[in-house]
Amino acid sequence: MRNFDYIKLTHIILFSFFVFSCTGKKDSLGMDDEIRVICSETDEPIIRAYLNNIFNDTLYTPAPEPLFKLIFSRPAHYQDLKRYAQIIIAAVDRDNSNSGYRLIKKLLPEHQLNITAKENPVLLTKDLHARDQVYVVINALDKGHLFKDINKNKDLLIRHYEEQFKLRGNRFLFRENQVEDEEKLFTDYRWNIKIPWGWEILRNDKKMKFFWMGSEYPYRWVSVKWSDGNIIEDQLSVGEQIWNYPISNYKSIRFNEHMFKLERIYFNDYKGWQCSGVWESNDSLDAKGGPFFSYLFYDTISDRTFHINTLVHNPGKSKAVYIRQTRLIAKSFRSSPQKN
């Protein structure tokens, strides 16, 4: 049996095999929003309840969609699943008849297997069997021990999974950028944004200070609007800018009041606003819609206000992972001082 090293990080334990590098490891498998959970049939109800409490964030597209999907499998399939990007091995019933507990006994050294009620049952490492992998073991003594530090563990687990989504998403989206178009944006406007392979520039209007690109199947749009000076000094002006954006620039769509949310954020290093909600088509005979995210911020260095909008249309199918990917594209935005 291999041994585990571990260090305690706030309220969660990080552990690792004696692996000296990731050289030679293959890329992790699976979708960015899938978490593979391996446990016994006996333990599944309590493990499912625990993980549903942790991964309970949703996006409205307009129907609510979970940020992460839990897919349960049995310990007999561990060898087939151990290279997936997000994997959790869990056990609560500490009986040798429990296949989940027997698997954890094979994975953990004795000093980590035989923990006390005061110790955290959640252990985590990265890139154990594949690149870009978050690998978790839940080694609980009972239900009370499992749920004891759920809020603290939730914050840290979500942080790791969000970082994992950004890492894999950026690598997937930007493995082949349209560099020439990105450089032209910077030359013309002193700002740029990453343009993934396969995306088409739908409009580039220097006079109207509006840039719009998109991709089909599913339909995804990312657009940038900019203005000289600071035009978002209060929440009322922010709301007006966001609400009028689709009619002024896309023409054919509008935002709906359903789940409309406006909040202060930091976009990259810019102090600004984030708005999320649902868009819909203006034509009642051509009903379309989906989720959107908008970012509005003032760049003091170039003395310009920027508005970046992202949206997705994927009727009848999942949209959450795609809107999150468009947000990664939005976050690739960079600006520099304007030429004199």
Examine the pLDDT at 21 and tell me if it is beyond 60.
no
Predicted local confidence at residue 81, as pLDDT: 97
Determine the average pLDDT of the residues in 243-267: 93
> Residue 2 — pLDDT band, cuts 50, 70, 90?
very low
Predicted local confidence at residue 258, as pLDDT: 84
For the CA atoms of 186, 180, 213, 276, the dihedral, rounded to the nearest 10 degrees, stands at -50
CATH T-level assignment (fold) for domain 177-335: Protein Transport Mog1p; Chain A (3.40.1000)
Closest CA to 165 of 44, 68, 251: 68
Predicted local confidence at residue 337, as pLDDT: 86
Predicted local confidence at residue 284, as pLDDT: 65
Neighbours of 234 (CB within 10 A): 7
Predicted local confidence at residue 14, as pLDDT: 55
> Residue 234 — pLDDT band, cuts 50, 70, 90?
confident
d(CA 296, CA 289) in angstroms, rounded, equals: 22
Determine the average pLDDT of the residues in 206-222: 96
Determine the average pLDDT of the residues in 184-195: 96
Give the start-to-end residue ranges of the domains of the chain.
5-172, 177-335
Whole-number CA gyration radius for the chain: 23
Examine the pLDDT at 3 and tell me if it is beyond 60.
no
Predicted local confidence at residue 340, as pLDDT: 62
Q: What percent of the chain has pLDDT over 70?
A: 92
Q: Could you give the angle at which helices 44-54 and 150-173 cross, rounded to 10 degrees?
A: 70
The number of residues in the chain equals 340
Predicted local confidence at residue 338, as pLDDT: 78
Cα 52 to its chain centre, rounded Å, is 17
> Residue 237 — pLDDT band, cuts 50, 70, 90?
confident
Examine the pLDDT at 4 and tell me if it is beyond 70.
no
- Spell out the SS3 assignment of 265-286: EEECCEEEEEEEEEEEECCCCC
Yes or no: say if 277 and 258 are a contact pair by the CB < 8 Å rule.
yes
Predicted local confidence at residue 23, as pLDDT: 53
Predicted local confidence at residue 13, as pLDDT: 54
Predicted local confidence at residue 198, as pLDDT: 94
Predicted local confidence at residue 119, as pLDDT: 94
Predicted local confidence at residue 10, as pLDDT: 37
d(CA 8, CA 124) in angstroms, rounded, equals: 10
Determine the average pLDDT of the residues in 19-47: 85
Determine the average pLDDT of the residues in 44-64: 93
pLDDT digits (tens, 9 = 90+) for 74-107: 999 999 999 999 999 999 999 999 999 999 999 9
Predicted local confidence at residue 68, as pLDDT: 93
Closest CA to 192 of 18, 19, 336, 30: 336
Determine the average pLDDT of the residues in 160-175: 93
Determine the average pLDDT of the residues in 261-290: 90
Predicted local confidence at residue 282, as pLDDT: 86
Q: Give exposure, 25-49, as e/b (b: 16+ Cβ within 10 Å).
A: beebbbebbbbbbbbbebbbebbee
Determine the average pLDDT of the residues in 193-212: 97
**340 vs 98, more confident:** 98
Determine the average pLDDT of the residues in 320-325: 95
Determine the average pLDDT of the residues in 28-32: 92
> Residue 339 — pLDDT band, cuts 50, 70, 90?
confident
